[in-house]
Amino acid sequence: MDRAERPQKTAMIIARRIIADIEREGLRPGDRLPPERVMLEQYQVGRGTLRESLRYLELSGALSIKPGPGGGPTVQKPDGSHLMTGLGLLLQFEESPFGTIVEARVGLEPLMARMAAERRTEEHRLGLAEAVRAMEERLDDLEVFLAANRRFHNTIAWASGNALFGHLVDAMDGVFVGAGLGVAYPQRIRAKVVEDDLAIYTAIADGDPDAAEGAMRAHVSQWTSYLREKFPDELSRPIAWNVMR
């Protein structure tokens, strides 16, 4: 039976109803849900089913559950860590190598840069400028440099105006970086990255989609060639969920 044809568990149906009610009632992160006795009556299910529903929503990041008196479920906003965990598990079961993530970014990032040039806000522009400045000023500090470079690419993903790109890049970045792959970035490579990122930033700031897409395509192509030439074993290494931080 295809997954789409499988009957949904009652707990999953109730979880969807809870989310629909959260949205309908305009609840925000930090707002508490009704007590268990009220929810049992509201959803007409047993205690075990309700708790399974709440536990699923907690694992998905939509709720936090505090045990004991005065506790209970509280609305929270999911973050990229939940998508990162799910993506990592899916790719591990597919026996996908880390090169899978590199290939995906080569395909996606030029489009994101084009869209960012069309849709970026002043806040995004300032964020990109700050990231480039941090890379330039701390070229000799690998940890600071890499963190600033990740901010640069993540900001572009969010500046695209497409939230899926933002969350997806956050998740892919988490899987790749969290594995602690032994990829070296000597200072000459860092200097080239700064040069590339400055060209990408300028095109996005100028609102030039063609230039932004072209600059990003050249950058990710060069980056991928470097990784394939210098670190083929790391890219062919299977993704393993248990190595992610």
* Residue 153 and residue 178 in one domain: yes
Confidence at 21, pLDDT banded by 50, 70, 90? very high
For the ranges 98-112, 149-163, 177-191, the lowest mean pLDDT is seen at: 177-191
* Residue 59 and residue 102 in one domain: no
Confidence at 175, pLDDT banded by 50, 70, 90? confident
* Residue 198 and residue 152 in one domain: yes
Residue where a domain stops, chosen among 75, 102, 131: 75
Domain containing residue 231: CATH number? 1.20.120.530
* Residue 44 and residue 111 in one domain: no
Compute the distance between CA of residue 15 and CA of residue 54 in angstroms, rounded to an integer: 7
Mean pLDDT of the chain: 89
Residue where a domain stops, chosen among 75, 90, 110: 75
The number of domains in the chain is 2
Instruction: Tell me the mean pLDDT in the region 47-75.
Output: 88
- pLDDT of amino acid 177: 67
pLDDT surpassing 70 at residue 178: no
* Residue 10 and residue 90 in one domain: no
* Residue 95 and residue 201 in one domain: yes
Domain containing residue 53: CATH number? 1.10.10.10
Contact of 115 with 161, CB cutoff 8 Å: yes
Domain that holds residue 145: 81-243
Q: How remote is the C-alpha of 230 from its chain's centroid?
A: 27
Confidence at 244, pLDDT banded by 50, 70, 90? very low
- pLDDT of amino acid 181: 65
High-pLDDT (> 90) share of the chain, %: 65
pLDDT surpassing 60 at residue 16: yes
Contact of 84 with 178, CB cutoff 8 Å: yes
* Residue 32 and residue 56 in one domain: yes
* Residue 52 and residue 123 in one domain: no
Compute the distance between CA of residue 135 and CA of residue 54 in angstroms, rounded to an integer: 43
Compute the distance between CA of residue 229 and CA of residue 232 in angstroms, rounded to an integer: 6
Contact of 174 with 84, CB cutoff 8 Å: yes
Helices (H), 66-208: 80-93, 99-119, 122-137, 142-159, 163-178, 187-205
* Residue 216 and residue 236 in one domain: yes
* Residue 69 and residue 22 in one domain: yes
More confident residue, 78 or 73: 73
Residue where a domain stops, chosen among 39, 60, 75: 75
Quote the DSSP letter at residue 206.
T
* Residue 101 and residue 167 in one domain: yes
Instruction: Tell me the mean pLDDT in the region 182-204.
Output: 92
